[in-house]
Chains A and B, each alone.
Chain A
Amino acid sequence: MSEPFRIATGGDVKAGAPLTFMFDGVSYAGRAGDTLASALLAHGVHLVGRSYKYHRPRGVLSAGAEEPNALVGVDGGAGRFTPNLRATQVELHDGLVATSQNRWPSLAFDLGAVNSLGARFFSAGFYYKTFMGPRAAGLRAWKNVFEPIVRQAAGLGAAPTAPDPDRYAQFYTHCDALIVGAGAAGLAAALAAGRAGADVILCDEQARFGGSLLQERTATIDDAPASAWLEAALAALAAMPNVRMVARTQAFGHHAQNLVGLCERVGDRDSAASEGVRERLWQVRARDVVLATGAIERPLVFPGNDRPGVMLAEAARAYLARWGVAVGRRVLVATTHDSAYRVALDLRAAGVGVAGVVDLRDAPTGELVEAARGAGIRVLAGRAIKSTSGRLRIREARIGPVASTEAAQEERIACDALLMCGGWTPSVHLHAQSRGKLVWAPAIGAFVPGQAAAHVRSAGACNGAFGLAAALREGDAAGAAVAGGSARAYATAHDPPQTGARDIAPARSAAAKDKAFLDFQNDVAVEDVELAVREGMRSIEHVKRYTTTGMATDQGKTSNLNALEVAARALGKAVPEVGLTTYRSPYTPVTFGALAGASRGDLFDPVRRTPIDPWAQAQGAAFEDVGLWKRAHYFPRAGESMAQAVARECRQTRASVGLFDASTLGKIEVVGPDAAAFLEKMYTNPFAGLAPGRCRYALMLNEAGFVIDDGVVARLAPDRFHVTTTTGGAARVLHHMEDYLQTEFPQMKVWLTSTSEQWAVIAVQGPRARDVITPLVEEIDLSREATPHMSVREGRVCGFAARVMRVSFTGELGFEINVPSEHGRAVWEAVWAEGASREAVAYGTEAMHVMRAEKGYVIVGQDTDGTVTPDDLGLGWAIGKNKRDFVGKRSLARPDIVAAGRKQFVGLLTEDPAFVAEEGAQIVDARGGAGGAALGHVTSAYFSPALGRSIALALVANGRNRIGETLHIPIMGRTIAARVVAPTFHDPQGALLDV
């Protein structure tokens, strides 16, 4: 297929056989070196997308990262669909398949475009007004009217659905100087820093280094053509071993202390090569950063400035010089800045028809303006574009005096491309992200970098210093400064000075029908910003959120200054008084793949497994995640449901004996002469009188008086304690203890050591527990008298050093055998073998939960929520009455803690014994239903095999005084009656523990 708009070769385009690619199902030919945008433009295809809200046809606006319109999805095969790529950055490869976005059923005929008829729905603040309307009407309108429209209309692209098969790499690196941007300024900086011996990284988001030098055809540097100088500079840098050059690499985030995130597109051009890396995330810690990120051309604001064929002027120059593509056959230029004349001259020199230059300035002068006039290009000074027409591509523009509103004064000029230049906006994004200050530069009508927050320098156009000479001078100076080298001077020629004007606000023509857009990507027009100001938005941050301008991938690249000027005008303020919105990372979208790197699938999170885990797996246990732990949830037999398995495990444990892997319990060894005194500070309980060999159930509070953990404190010796914590609380509790030990009680002589992973814990619970373990235990008398409930003994189990604690979380006779982890499985299997003749069962965490609930034992974090005191739980007995101080004690006397009516821990029995309440269900008073007063909520609920009915635990206001009352649990359309009872359902006297 011929490329009718490819009028030259050279530049980026490489010789050789043409490539074939697909766009929206149509096959095209392109060239190696093309971007998707340049290849489409070579075929005269400007229409590449539909806008976000109004589904207006949109064309390629730019030639770079700032592209707001030409967003495409690229399909690289199964799992390799990437949405929201800028066609201006997608490198063409043979077989590339791309599709446009936001169109249905096709780009040329889009049903969603009816949205522009209903444009008032989408005016500024649409989202807020819709959600904030009168309650009932708002909800109905949302469901029936807005949601269907928004669902069809909204969204940038489609998320891929298949798993991503590619690999993404990540690495950290350091350097003396990171130089971002390899245009004239960045290259000069790299040459200067590299020559001085600095360790340099030079990155550029494009496939080729050179920036605007790649489209420079007239200027010279040191008497050589710019292209020759570029070639020599790249060769010189390549020869420096201390300079790393990375192309296709976007610096997207600049964080504190010069940590800069780079995303390198490694396998983009051959994404099918699954062996390779698709993208690489760099995290660079740079001593110094030189920003040479250039400037972005600003669109002009006029009605119909969004038609396909309306482009940024410099983009047309780039397409011509780099890809040999003419953006049209009859091109009209509109500008407030001299730089667009250079575009007109280059196009004219290449044989492209130039219909004229419309200049909003009354009397433009200067070298470039005169050159254009001299070349016979018509200059229409003091004129503005008043409107455009053409359905899917611009056909005509109407031009009139800047201040005129009268259609009669307008001249019609036919064109197939309209190039606009509203001046240049320095790309200060990274400087601002690094928290550098910005200052208003009235001469160029833009913000430029002010004081940096770190060792960050800006050079060239991103610093507001436009033109080749300034870029080279500032880049060289920055590079020399960061490396301690000396500056040199570059001689440039044929690089005429360029100036522009900003404070021009053309009047809207009475004949204009279209909106004048500020933000093409988010479909924000002048009237939206004006409306936002009329509706009371004063801060530019509010205007941004109300109108959505500058959001999504645009991040203010093309829209920021224009929106700011309109807002400032509407507010009657100067631009710097209105302020600027925050620049946020990322500069351009970064894939989740790059951010996740290898942290996906099995490597997403570390997995913790106990020493006994392989045995549980071999038994066919079902597992549940508890933090990072995999815990055996239950042990189903063939054909058993979970409920059946759990019921069997509970019944058999209470009837005979059950084994439970409690190795995940947190364990802390507390040692030292002040260990008991320290634990008295950390827990509510007294420990001074706890004899060695005894254990105590202990409650930990935060300083506000609320329960944050519980466990067992076992005294092994006067100066040594074995303390257990909840599984999830292990790290938190140790941190809490360390905090107090190091910062509040540093005089105490105590050592804290985490031993969670040093001990495997085998809980043996049930009336036959003693019978099962006795044959395996040496050096410990396990009799009722010698080892009573809540005691700890050191001895040997299966020949291994062990700590045996007589404790129970089931209400049955129980022992917890602690053995060194490496022997955990062997001891477990020995206990299991002993249990075989005594009808032992292995039980999982679900049965553990059920049995402890039957006893009313609290699980911190399930039955508590960080606002629960010991007394709320009925655990006031755990508070050492004679202790003057412990963490949280003072708060227990706060007025709201001692006030009546607090929620208290109680049991609930539903009237329907088969009904198991939902954990978290609300509880209301006797009136029931929606009119009932909320009293609390269900914290735990199970079917209890011991009782043969459902049970629940709950926090209920004034609960202990309500024992005997019937309350109600509202669920979907009905309420369930439940009687309040004491929270101990099984063996309330604890007789079974003392056997």
Chain B
Amino acid sequence: MLLIHCPYCDAARPELEFRYGGEAHVARPADPATVSDEAWAQYLYFRANPRGLHAERWRHIHGCGRFFNALRDTVSDRFVAVYEAGAPRPDAAETKR
């Protein structure tokens, strides 16, 4: 079980309190009606799935209830950074151990 640091509660809590939310920074198009089928398919179904640093959404569902983002290394499961929803993805260089 992972320990995850919630940036809103500013505390590490067990994974059981959280719910995973998939890849982060996949913004819903502002006006979906104007989006092509191809672009809409990209938005719906295509995700990065990297080996290494992955920006992803988590929700502290059994805590404060807030969504936030995390940079996690998918090889080691190490959380490199957690940051508030809406904030830009931190520069990976700044987040080296």
Verify if A704 is at the interface (C-beta below 8 Å from B): yes
- Supposing A739-B67, A742-B67, A890-B32 touch, asked if A435 and B75 sit within 8 A by C-beta, the answer is yes
A739 with B59: CB separation less than 8 A: yes
- For residue B76, CB closer than 8 A to chain A, the reply is yes
B9 within 8 A of A: no
Give Cα A884–Cα B29 distance, bound, in whole angstroms.
Answer: 13
- Complex contacts, A735 vs chain B, CB 8 Å: 19, 59, 61
What distance in Å separates the Cβ of A632 from its nearest Cβ neighbour in chain B? 30
B37-A453 in contact (CB<8A)? no
Task: Please report the C-alpha to C-alpha distance between residue A884 and residue B30 in the assembled complex, in whole angstroms.
Answer: 11
How far does the Cβ of A31 sit from chain B's closest Cβ, in whole Å? 42
What mask results when residues 59 to 97 of chain B are scored 1 for a CB within 8 Å of chain A, else 0? 101000111000000011110000001100000000000
* B66 and A890 within 8 A (CB): no
Asked whether any CB of chain B lies closer than 8 Å to the CB of A799, the reply is no
Q: Encode A133-147 as 1/0 by CB contact (under 8 A) with B.
A: 000000000000000
Given the known inter-chain contacts A256-B2, A435-B76, A742-B85, please indicate yes or no for A884 contacting B44, CB distance below 8 A.
Answer: no
Q: Tell me whether B57 is interfacial, beta carbon within 8 Å.
A: yes
A715-740 toward B: CB 8 Å interface, digit per residue (1/0)?
A: 00000000000000000000100110
Q: Select which of A255, A742, A744, A895 is within 8 A of B66 by beta carbon.
A: A742
B17 vs chain A, min Cβ distance (A): 14
Q: What size tier do the contact residues of chain B reach? A: 20 to 34
| Chain B residues with CB below 8 A from A454, complex form | 76, 78
Q: Mark A266-289, 1 if CB is under 8 A from B, else 0.
A: 000000000000000001010000
Bound: A285/B78 CA distance, A: 15
Q: Mark B17-43, 1 if CB is under 8 A from A, else 0.
A: 001010000011101110101001100
Asked if A885 is at the interface (CB within 8 A of a chain B CB), the reply is yes
Closest chain A residue, CB of each to CB of B4: A257
Given the interface contacts A739-B21, A884-B33, does A890 sit within 8 Å of B40 by beta carbon?
yes
20 additional contacts (CB under 8 A) given A257-B77, A743-B85 = A255-B1, A256-B1, A256-B2, A259-B1, A283-B1, A453-B76, A454-B78, A703-B28, A704-B44, A735-B59, A738-B67, A739-B67, A742-B67, A742-B85, A743-B57, A746-B86, A885-B32, A885-B33, A890-B32, A890-B33
**Residue A891 at the B interface, CB < 8 A?**
yes
Contacts of A435 on B, CB cut-off 8 Å? 75-77
How far in angstroms is the closest Cβ of chain B from A256?
A: 4
Cβ contacts under 8 Å, A927 to chain B: none
Interface status of A825 (Cβ within 8 A of chain B): no
> A457 interface residue, CB < 8 Å from B?
no
Given A739-B21, A743-B57, A891–B44 Cβ distance below 8 Å?
Answer: yes
Residues B77 and A885 in contact, CB atoms below 8 Å apart: no
Q: Within 8 Å of chain B (Cβ to Cβ): is A889?
A: yes
Contact B78 A890, beta carbon cutoff 8 Å: no
Indicate whether A738 sits within 8 Å of B2 (C-beta atoms), given known contacts A435-B76, A890-B33, A890-B40: no
Which of A259, A453, A454, A743 neighbours the largest number of chain B CB atoms within 10 Å of its CB? Answer: A743
Contacts of B59 in A (CB 8 A): 735, 738-739
Which residues on the B side are within 8 Å of A256 (C-beta)? 1-2, 76-78
Check A744 against B28 for contact (C-beta < 8 Å).
yes
Provide the residues of chain B in CB contact with A742, threshold 8 Å. 66-67, 85
A573 within 8 A of B: no
User: In whole angstroms, what is the CA distance A256 to B3 when docked?
Assistant: 9
A281 to chain B, nearest CB (A): 13
Name which residue of chain A comes closest to B85, CB basis: A743
Which residues of A (279-311) have their CB < 8 Å from a CB of B?
A: 283, 285
C-alpha spacing A891/B66, complex, angstroms:
28
Q: Give me the interface of B with A, judged by CB distance under 8 Å.
A: 1-3, 19, 21, 27-29, 31-33, 35, 37, 40-41, 44, 57, 59, 61, 65-67, 75-78, 85-86
Q: Quick check: is A609 within 8 A (CB to CB) of the other chain? A: no
Q: Which residues of A contact B32 (CB under 8 A)?
A: 885, 889-890
**Distance in Å from the Cβ of B5 to the closest Cβ of chain A?**
11
C-alpha spacing A735/B66, complex, angstroms: 10
Q: Roughly how many angstroms separate A889 CA and B29 CA in the complex, as a whole number? A: 12
CB-nearest residue of chain B to A705: B44
Q: B29 contacts which chain A residues (CB < 8 A)?
A: 890
Question: What's the Cα separation between A735 and B59 when bound, in Å?
Answer: 9
Residue of B nearest to A888 (CB): B32
Please name the residue on chain B nearest to A740 by beta carbon.
B28
Q: Which residues of B contact A891 (CB under 8 A)?
A: 40, 44
Bound Cα distance A891, B57 (Å): 23
7 contacts between A and B (CB under 8 A): A256-B1, A743-B67, A746-B85, A890-B32, A890-B33, A891-B40, A895-B37
Residue A494 lies at the interface, judged by CB distance under 8 Å to chain B: no
Q: Hey, which chain A residues are within 8 Å of B37, CB to CB?
A: 894-895
Nearest B residue to A703, CB-CB: B44
From residue 856 to 911 of chain A, which have CB atoms closer than 8 A to chain B? 884-885, 889-891, 894-895
The 4 A-B residue pairs with the shortest CB-CB distance in the complex, in nearest-first order: A890-B32, A256-B77, A453-B76, A742-B67
> What does the 1/0 interface line of A696-713 toward B look like (CB < 8 Å)?
000000011000000000
Q: A891-B40, A891-B44 are in contact. Are A738 and B65 (CB under 8 A)?
A: yes
Considering the chains assembled together, what is the distance between the CA atoms of A880 and B85 in angstroms? 30
Neighbouring A residues of B35 by C-beta, 8 Å: 890
Contacts of A743 in B (CB 8 A): 57, 67, 85-86
Could you say which residues of chain B place their CB within 8 Å of the CB of A890? 29, 32-33, 35, 40
Q: Which residues of A contact B21 (CB under 8 A)?
A: 739
Instruction: Give the distance in Å from the alpha carbon of A739 to the alpha carbon of B19 in the complex.
Output: 11
Residue of B nearest to A283 (CB): B1
Kindly state the separation between the CA atoms of A744 and B21 in the bound complex, as whole angstroms. 13
Min CB–CB distance B18 → chain A (angstroms): 12
Q: Cβ of B65: which chain A residues have Cβ within 8 Å of it?
A: 738
Chain A residues with CB below 8 A from B1, complex form = 255-256, 259, 283
CB distance from B27 to the nearest CB of A (A): 8
B3 surroundings in chain A (CB, below 8 A): 257, 285
Residue of B nearest to A886 (CB): B32
Contact check: which of B31, B78, B85, B86 meets A885 at CB < 8 Å? Answer: B31
- B75: which A residues are within 8 A, CB to CB? 435
A541, B67: Cα distance in complex, Å: 39
Q: How long is the Cα–Cα vector from A884 to B31 in the complex, in angstroms?
A: 8
Shortest Cβ distance from residue A883 to the other chain B in the assembled complex, whole angstroms: 10
Query: Chain A contacts of B33 at CB under 8 A?
Result: 884-885, 889-890
Is the pair B2, A257 in contact by a Cβ cutoff of 8 Å?
yes
Chain A residue nearest to B41 (CB atoms) is A894
Residues of chain B contacted by A884 (CB below 8 angstroms): 31, 33
A738 vs B19: C-alpha distance when bound (angstroms)? 13
Q: Bound state CA distance, A704 and B31, in angstroms?
A: 15
Which residues of the partner chain B approach A739 to less than 8 Å between Cβ atoms? 21, 59, 67
Instruction: Report the Cα distance A891→B67, complex, angstroms.
Output: 25
Measured CB to CB, the nearest residue on chain B to A256 is: B77
A894 to B33, CA, bound (A): 11
Whether the pair B40, A453 counts as a contact (CB closer than 8 A) is: no
Q: Are A453 and B78 in contact (CB under 8 A)?
A: yes
> B40 near A894 (CB under 8 angstroms)?
yes
Find residues 242-257 in chain A having any chain B CB closer than 8 Å to their own CB. Answer: 255-257
Q: How far is the CA of A742 from the CA of B86 in the complex (A)?
A: 9
* Chain A residue, CB-CB nearest to B35: A890
**Closest partner residue, chain B, to A285 (CB atom):** B3
Kindly provide the distance from the CB of B60 to the nearest chain A CB, expressed in whole angstroms.
11
CA distance A256 to B79 in the complex (A): 11
Q: Could you tell me the distance between the alpha carbons of A256 and B77 in the complex, rounded to whole angstroms?
A: 7
For residue A703, which residues in chain B have a CB less than 8 angstroms away from its CB? Answer: 28, 44
For B76, the chain A residues whose CB sits under 8 A away are 256, 435, 453-454
